Amino acid sequence: MRRLLGGVLILVVLMPLVLSAALVGMGRAAIAEARAVTDDHLAVINQQLTDIDAALAAADAAFAGVPEAMDSVRAALDDMRVFVADLTADIPVWLAFITGFQGAIADILGVLDDLTGVVDSVTTLQAIPGQLNDVLVELQALVDDLETTGSSRLADLLNVAALLGVWLAGIYLALVWKWLCQGWQMLAGQPA
C-alpha cells in the first residue's frame, strides 16, 4: 500500500510538468499550423488589395486630368465660334477658317483621346467589386481553415484539460483524506 501511495505521490508531483510540456508542445504545433494556414490566404488577400489600390490610383490620376481636358474642349469650341463669326465671303478668310477649324477639331480629338484613357480607368474600376468579392471569399476560406485547425486542436486541449481535472481531483482527495486522518487523530488525542 505504501508503494502504491508513493507512486501516486510521485505521479501527482510530476503531473504538472508533464501537462505543461504537453501544453507547450501543442501550443507550438497549433501556432505553426495556424501560420501555415493563414500565410497563403493572406498573400492572396494582400495581392488583391494591392491590385485594387493600383486601380484606384490609376483612376485617380486619370480623373485628375479631366478638368483640364474639358477646359481644352471648351477653348477649342470657343475658337471655332470665333472663326464662324468672322467668316466672310473672302477666300483667305475661308482658308484661315478651315485651318483654325482643323486645329480646333484636332484639339478636341486629342482631348477625346485623353478622355478615352479616363473611360479605360472607369472600366478598370468596374473590376473592383469582383476583386473585393474575391477578397471576401478568401477571408471566408481563411476562417474556415482556421476553424478546421482549431477544432482538430480542441480535442487535444480537452484531453489535457481532462487530465488536469483528474490531477486536481486527485490532489483534493489526497489532501482531504490526509486532513481528515490528521483531524481524527487530533480529536482522538493521538499524535498526528
Kindly give, in sequence order, each residue whose CB lies less than 8 Å from that of residue 73, ignoring residues fewer than 6 positions away.
Answer: 107, 108, 111, 112
Q: Find the DSSP H helices in the chain.
A: 2-64, 66-85, 91-126, 128-188
What is the C-alpha to C-alpha distance for residues 143 and 41, in angstroms, rounded to an integer? 10
Q: What is the mean pLDDT of residues 18-38?
A: 83
- The distance of Cα 114 from the centroid of its chain, to the nearest Å, equals 36
Residues 6 or more apart whose CB falls under 8 angstroms from that of 192 comprise 182, 185, 186
Evaluate if residue 1 carries a pLDDT over 80: no
Over residues 180-190, mean pLDDT: 84
Residue 190 DSSP SS3: coil
We find that the CATH architecture of domain 2-188 is Orthogonal Bundle (1.10)
Indicate the domain borders of the chain.
Answer: 2-188
> Is 49 a residue whose pLDDT tops 70?
yes
At what angle are helices 128-188 and 2-64 packed, to 10 degrees? 160
**Burial of 84 by CB count in 10 Å (0-12 exposed, 13-18 middle, 19+ buried)?**
exposed
Give the single-character DSSP code of 106. Answer: H
pTM value surpassing 0.85: no
Model confidence pLDDT, tens digit, residues 52-98: 888 878 777 777 766 776 677 677 666 666 555 555 545 555 555 56
Instruction: Map residue 90 onto helix, strand or coil.
Output: coil
Q: Which residue has the higher pLDDT, 34 or 96?
A: 34
